[in-house]
Structure formats: structure tokens, C-alpha cells
Amino acid sequence: MDRSKIVAIGTGVLSVLLAIAYLLLVQVLDFRGEMLPAPVSFLGTFM
């Protein structure tokens, strides 16, 4: 195989691995539960 084909395959594999890692990260963050906003009283102390 010539170099350009090896680079293309390597880039494709890296892209798929990054996509899978991103999906796993999103799943882990989603399992943490409901996202709650910051309390308004805490935000008001700096203004």
C-alpha cells in the first residue's frame, strides 16, 4: 500500500475512535442525573 492510503485508513480509524469516545462521554455525563441550575441567591451576592 502506498503512504496516502495508509494515512487515510489511519485517519478514518482515529475518527471512529474519537466518535465512540465522545458518545461514551455523553452517556456517562447523562447518567449523572438531572442538571440543576445554580441557585439564584448565590448568583446575586456578587452584583
Q: Which residue has the cell 492510503?
A: 5
The grid cell for 27 is 452517556
- pLDDT of 45 over the 70 cut: no
Rounded CA gap, 15 and 8, in Å? 10
pLDDT at position 31: 84
Q: Could you tell me the pTM of the whole model?
A: 0.63
- pLDDT of 47 over the 70 cut: no
Q: Which residue has the cell 455525563?
A: 29
Domain ranges of the chain: 3-46
pLDDT digits (tens, 9 = 90+) for 4-16: 999 999 999 999 9
